[in-house]
Amino acid sequence: MNTQPDELKTLNRETIIDLVGDEPDKIQKFHTEFLAQAATVLKTIVQSFNINDFGELKSQAHFLKTSARAVGAERSAYFLETIERYSLTKNKSAIKQIIIKLNGEFIAIKKELTNGEH
Amino acid sequence: MASINRIAKRHPAVLVLTHREDDVQGVTQLISEQTNDFRCLVVRKSALDDIEQLAPKVILFALSDVKKSICLYNMLIKEKRLVKNHYSVLLCSNKESGLAFKCCLKNLFDSYFVYQPLYEKFRLQLIVYEGLKQFTDSDTYIDSLDSIVQNQNEELNALIEMGLSYKASVVEEISKSRDEVNTINQDILEKLPDSMHKELLSELNESHIQPLLSALEESLSSKLLGLVDGLKQSQDLNSLLMKQLQQPIKEKQVSDLHGTGSSDGFLDTPTSQQSILLVEDNHIYREMISDVLTNVGYEIEQVDDGLAAIKKIKLTQYDLIVMDLFLPNLDGLNTTKHIRNVGKNIKTPVVALTGNKNKQLVKKWAEHGLDGYILKPSTKQEILAVVNKAIGN
Q: What is the distance, to the nearest Å, from the Cα of residue B310 to the centroid of all Cα atoms in its chain?
A: 12
Residue A112 lies in a domain: yes
Name the least confident of B4-18, B63-77, B121-135: B4-18
Q: What is the mean pLDDT of residues B121-125?
A: 87
Q: Which residues of B touch A70 (CB under 8 A)?
A: 284-285, 288, 376-377
Q: Which residues of A12-48 are buried (b: 16+ CB within 10 A; e: fewer)?
A: bbebbbbbbeeeeeebeebbeebbebbeebbebbeeb
Residue A71 lies in a domain: yes
Residue A106 lies in a domain: yes
Nearest CA in chain B to A15: B379
Residues 92 to 111 of A: which have CB under 8 A from any B CB?
A: none
For A39-66, the pLDDT digits (tens) are: 999 999 999 999 999 999 999 999 999 9
Q: What is the mean pLDDT of residues A81-105?
A: 95
**Amino acid at residue number B330:** L
For residue B196, the model assigns a pLDDT of 66
Q: Which residues of A touch B291 (CB under 8 A)?
A: 20, 26
Provide the pLDDT confidence category of residue B263 given band limits of 50, 70 and 90: very low
Query: What is the domain count for chain A?
Result: 1
For A61-88, the pLDDT digits (tens) are: 999 999 999 999 999 999 999 999 999 9
Q: Chains A and B: how many Cβ contacts under 8 Å?
A: 73
Percent of chain B residues topping a pLDDT of 90: 22
Query: How many DSSP H helices and E strands does chain A contain?
Result: 5, 0
Residues of B with CB under 8 A from a CB of A: 22, 25-26, 93-94, 116-119, 280-285, 287-288, 291-292, 295, 324, 326, 355, 357, 376-381, 383
pLDDT at B74 over 70: yes
Q: Answer yes or no: are the C-beta atoms of B110 and B131 closer than 8 Å.
A: yes
A112 reaches B (C-beta below 8 A): no
Q: Where are the beta strands (DSSP E) in chain B?
A: 14-18, 38-42, 58-62, 87-93, 111-116, 275-279, 299-303, 320-324, 350-354, 372-375
pLDDT at B383 over 60: yes
Distance CA B381, CA B393 (A): 14
Nearest CA in chain A to B24: A53
Domains in chain B: ranges and CATH: 14-148 (3.40.50.2300), 275-391 (3.40.50.2300)
Q: What is the mean pLDDT of residues A12-40?
A: 94
For residue B157, the model assigns a pLDDT of 64
- The CB density around residue B277, as the number of other CB atoms within 10 Å, is 24
With CB atoms and an 8 Å threshold, state whether A19 touches B377. yes
pLDDT at B271 over 50: no
For residue A47, the model assigns a pLDDT of 93
At A40, which CATH number?
Answer: 1.20.120.160
ipTM for the predicted complex: 0.93
For residue B179, the model assigns a pLDDT of 80
Mean pLDDT score of chain A, rounded to an integer? Answer: 91
Half-sphere exposure of B238 (CA within 13 A, CB side): 16
Q: Which residues of B touch A71 (CB under 8 A)?
A: 284
State the greatest distance between any 2 C-alpha atoms of chain A, in Å, as a whole number. Answer: 42
pLDDT at B198 over 70: no
Q: How far is B149 from chain A (nearest CA, A)?
A: 24
Q: Which residues of B touch A20 (CB under 8 A)?
A: 288, 291-292, 380
Residue A109 lies in a domain: yes
pLDDT at B195 over 80: no
For residue A67, the model assigns a pLDDT of 95
For residue B248, the model assigns a pLDDT of 47
For B143-167, the pLDDT digits (tens) are: 545 554 555 556 566 666 666 666 6
pLDDT at B100 over 70: yes
Provide the pLDDT confidence category of residue B60 given band limits of 50, 70 and 90: very high
Provide the domain limits for residue A45.
Answer: 13-116
For residue B2, the model assigns a pLDDT of 39
With CB atoms and an 8 Å threshold, state whether B284 touches A19. no
Minimum-distance CB partner of A34 among B284, B376, B383: B284
Q: What is the mean pLDDT of residues A6-31?
A: 93
Provide the pLDDT confidence category of residue B369 given band limits of 50, 70 and 90: confident
Distance CA A96, CA A46 (A): 9
For B224-259, the pLDDT digits (tens) are: 666 666 666 666 666 665 665 555 443 333 333 333
A12 reaches B (C-beta below 8 A): no
For residue B243, the model assigns a pLDDT of 60
Q: Which residues of A touch B378 (CB under 8 A)?
A: 19
Name the least confident of B35-44, B116-125, B215-224: B215-224
Higher-pLDDT residue of B322 and B263 is B322
Nearest CA in chain A to B290: A20
Higher-pLDDT residue of B79 and B343 is B79
What number of residues does chain B have? Answer: 393
Residue A18 lies in a domain: yes
Cis ω before B117 (30° cut-off from 0): yes
pLDDT at A93 over 80: yes
A56 reaches B (C-beta below 8 A): yes
pLDDT at B356 over 50: yes
Provide the pLDDT confidence category of residue B222 given band limits of 50, 70 and 90: low
Residue A3 lies in a domain: no
With CB atoms and an 8 Å threshold, state whether B288 touches A62. no
For residue B63, the model assigns a pLDDT of 93
Higher-pLDDT residue of B164 and B206 is B206
3-state secondary structure of B368: coil
With CB atoms and an 8 Å threshold, state whether A59 touches B22. no
Distance CA B56, CA B262 (A): 43
A60 reaches B (C-beta below 8 A): yes
Q: What is the mean pLDDT of residues B73-100?
A: 89
- Mutation choice for A interface testing from B284, B287, B294, B375 by most A CBs within 10 A: B284
pLDDT at A117 over 70: no
Distance CA B155, CA B149 (A): 11
Distance CA B338, CA B322 (A): 15
pTM: 0.49
Q: Which residues of A touch B287 (CB under 8 A)?
A: 30, 33
Nearest CA in chain A to B379: A19
3-state secondary structure of B272: coil
Mean pLDDT score of chain B, rounded to an integer? Answer: 77
For residue B6, the model assigns a pLDDT of 39
Q: Which residues of B touch A33 (CB under 8 A)?
A: 283-284, 287
Distance CA B241, CA B236 (A): 8
With CB atoms and an 8 Å threshold, state whether B380 touches A20. yes
Distance CA B283, CA B304 (A): 8
Provide the pLDDT confidence category of residue B197 given band limits of 50, 70 and 90: low
Residue A25 lies in a domain: yes
Minimum-distance CB partner of A33 among B26, B284, B355: B284
Q: What is the mean pLDDT of residues B277-298?
A: 93
CB neighbours of B329 closer than 8 A, spacing ≥ 6? B94, B97, B114, B119, B120, B123, B305, B306, B307, B308
Residue A1 lies in a domain: no
In the 8-state DSSP scheme, what is residue B207?
Answer: I
Provide the pLDDT confidence category of residue B270 given band limits of 50, 70 and 90: very low
